[in-house]
Amino acid sequence: MRAFGERLRDLGHRIIFLKLDDPQNRQTLTGNIAYLLQKEKISHFEYLLPDEYRLDLQLRQIAETLPISCQTADTQHFLTERGELEAFFAGKKRYLMESFYRWMRKRYDILMDNDKPFGGKWNYDQKNRRAYDHRVPVPQPLFFENDVSDIYRTIRNQKVATLGEIQPEKLIWPTTRLQALALLRSFLDDFLPAFGTYQDAMTIENWHLFHSRLSFALNTKLLQPLEVIEAAIDTWEKRPSRIKIQQVEGFVRQILGWREYMRGIYWALMPDLAAMNYFDHRADLPEFYWTGDTRINCLRAALSQSLKRAYAHHIQRLMVTGNFALLAGVHPDAVDEWYLGIYIDAVEWVELPNTRAMSQFADGGRIATKPYVSSARYIHSMSDYCDNCDYTWNIRHGDMACPFNSLYWDFLNRHRRRLRKNPRMGMMYRSWDRMDKKEKRQVLIQAAAYRKDLSRL
């Protein structure tokens, strides 16, 4: 915001920017608006529609009480308007991302061959599931060295509660549009050629692999989604032998599909979404989520990197930290609080539907066709985390049995009434039903012992 403010000033705009410690800062939105209206003798009030429900409500309430004319303007940083997804799915029980994505592809004429998808397929997800095999070295990442020490000092002086680690004189994330564009260029030139292939892979050796790390720049509006998509397609068109369709389609799907879809879900389901808790989960979030101090190696890796970098890629968020919280029965409020607090890209419109609905299934399946839960098998197949773990990935009970295994079966057993009719869960319940009675009992005893004191794991 500060860099943006300075840029606007350089371009000749008149702006008023109230810093956190400005003596004129009334420290509330209502107070600051009232103060500025009076001081500047403002006769017409316009604001950009915010992305967050709470702020939207607050601004509407403020506008209603003002004695001057008010108007809103929509943001240019999304490809759909707030209510469009809800209208698209009107009358439908489920909001299927794939049908929304196809509609968006046609609407924006992206990767289309007349009215057919380019290459003959809408989705190359099947080719985007390889574990990291070191065949392609991870390119040198572009990290910035932004000195934000003055902001850091202000935050400390104002006693704002913080968590995680920071090197304030070397913030690696882009803070200006020029830096954001440079990060985009670096991703397209060096990382996109392997993006799709290793999209779901996780390794202890590298915290970002081939991911773009663009979410922060996109969410803070340093980049526009359409320019990112168009730049990706342009790069692919210029180098078709180096960048395959599955790489570029995989990337486009994230932004044209998932990002817009999540925003539409947010506006369709708010404010109810923020209180949903389909499984009635009540457990506390284990203390180690805030410290990384656990023997569970996959969690230790994902948590420590999140605390240190304020970043984890999608599969770490969904299948490690999110999966564990769901299996352990953590209250979705606590899970949301953590995700919103920890990531550099966390803003409620995108954090809440991803966490509460997609990862914790707290919406009862409006967006995910089944809960994203897995035993250690998935983590073992997609990462090298299990190689150096105190727990053993293929053991269900006993001293060093991987907690994901017993917690997984325990979760299915506990929620049988809610999940048994889900056609995508049938195979899992058949496997559970086939399991020997004694084995089942031992698994459930193991899970109960783990759940009794999650923080000790």
Ligand X SMILES: Cc1cc2nc3c(=O)[nH]c(=O)nc-3n(C[C@H](O)[C@H](O)[C@H](O)COP(=O)(O)OP(=O)(O)OC[C@H]3O[C@@H](n4cnc5c(N)ncnc54)[C@H](O)[C@@H]3O)c2cc1C
Question: Where does this chain bind ligand X (CB under 6 A)?
Answer: 211-215, 218-219, 254-255, 258-259, 262, 313-314, 317-318, 322, 339, 343, 345-346, 350-351, 354-355, 358-359
- State which residue, 228 or 402, has the beta carbon closest to ligand SF4: 402
φ, ψ for residue 116, nearest 5 deg: -110, 155
State how far Cα 216 lies from the chain centre. 10
Distance between CA 344 and CA 215 in Å, rounded? 8
Binding ligand SF4 (rule: CB under 6 A), the pick from 352, 386, 412, 454 is 386
* Nearest distance, CB of residue 427 and ligand SF4, angstroms: 21
Token code pair at residue 65: 């009480």
Interaction between residue 248 and ligand SF4 (CB under 6 A) = no
Name the one range near ligand SF4 by CB under 6 A: 104-112, 328-336, 377-385, 407-415. Answer: 377-385
Interaction between residue 209 and ligand SF4 (CB under 6 A) = no
- State which residue, 228 or 296, has the beta carbon closest to ligand SF4: 296
* Nearest distance, CB of residue 355 and ligand X, angstroms: 4
Q: 267-300 burial string, b = 16+ CB within 10 Å, else e? A: bbbbeebbebebbebeeebbebbeebebebbbbb
Identify what 418 binds: ligand SF4, ligand X, none; CB under 5 to 8 Å per kind.
none
- State which residue, 263 or 300, has the beta carbon closest to ligand SF4: 300
Interaction between residue 393 and ligand SF4 (CB under 6 A) = yes
How many chain residues are in contact with ligand SF4, going by CB under 6 A?
A: 14
Identify what 267 binds: ligand X, ligand SF4, none; CB under 5 to 8 Å per kind.
none
Binding ligand SF4 (rule: CB under 6 A), the pick from 315, 402, 419, 443 is 402
Residues 45-84: x/- map of binding to ligand SF4 (CB under 6 A)?
----------------------------------------
Token code pair at residue 218: 């996109």
Binding ligand SF4 (rule: CB under 6 A), the pick from 244, 259, 380, 451 is 380
Single-letter residue type at 124: Y
- State which residue, 346 or 402, has the beta carbon closest to ligand SF4: 402
* Nearest distance, CB of residue 380 and ligand SF4, angstroms: 6
Identify what 379 binds: ligand SF4, ligand X, none; CB under 5 to 8 Å per kind.
ligand SF4
3-class DSSP string for 162-187: CCCCCCCCCECCCCCHHHHHHHHHHH
Distance between CA 265 and CA 82 in Å, rounded? 9
- Location of structure tokens 């209510």: 83
Interaction between residue 379 and ligand SF4 (CB under 6 A) = yes
Binding ligand SF4 (rule: CB under 6 A), the pick from 89, 339, 391, 450 is 391
CA angle in degrees (0–180, nearest 5) for 426-431-432: 95
Instruction: Report in angstroms the alpha-carbon separations of 354 from 294, 318, 329, 350, 361.
Output: 25, 9, 17, 6, 10
Asked if residues 243 and 270 have their Cβ atoms less than 8 Å apart, the reply is no
Distance between CA 439 and CA 103 in Å, rounded? 48
Helix, strand or coil, per DSSP, at residue 70: strand
Return the bridge partners of 71, or none: 46
- State which residue, 363 or 397, has the beta carbon closest to ligand X: 363
Distance between CA 166 and CA 169 in Å, rounded? 9
Name the one range near ligand SF4 by CB under 6 A: 50-58, 69-77, 284-292, 374-382. Answer: 374-382
Report which secondary-structure segment, H or E, holds 281. Answer: none
* Nearest distance, CB of residue 199 and ligand X, angstroms: 7
Burial of 241 (0-12, 13-18, 19+ CB in 10 A): exposed
Distance between CA 395 and CA 405 in Å, rounded? 7
CA angle in degrees (0–180, nearest 5) for 381-318-456: 85
- State which residue, 117 or 174, has the beta carbon closest to ligand X: 174
- C-alpha dihedral, 131 to 249 to 231 to 51, nearest 10°: -90
- State which residue, 258 or 450, has the beta carbon closest to ligand X: 258
Name the one range near ligand SF4 by CB under 6 A: 154-162, 228-236, 334-342, 375-383. Answer: 375-383
- State which residue, 188 or 296, has the beta carbon closest to ligand SF4: 296
Binding ligand SF4 (rule: CB under 6 A), the pick from 78, 404, 411, 450 is 404
- Give the footprint of ligand SF4 on residues 288-317 (CB under 6 A): 296-298
* Nearest distance, CB of residue 307 and ligand X, angstroms: 15
- State which residue, 230 or 384, has the beta carbon closest to ligand SF4: 384
Category of 270 on φ-ψ map: left (φ > 0), alpha (ψ -120 to 50) or beta: beta
Name the one range near ligand SF4 by CB under 6 A: 42-50, 182-190, 339-347, 386-394. Answer: 386-394
Using CB under 6 A, list all residues that contact ligand SF4: 296-298, 376, 379-380, 385-386, 389, 391, 393, 402-404
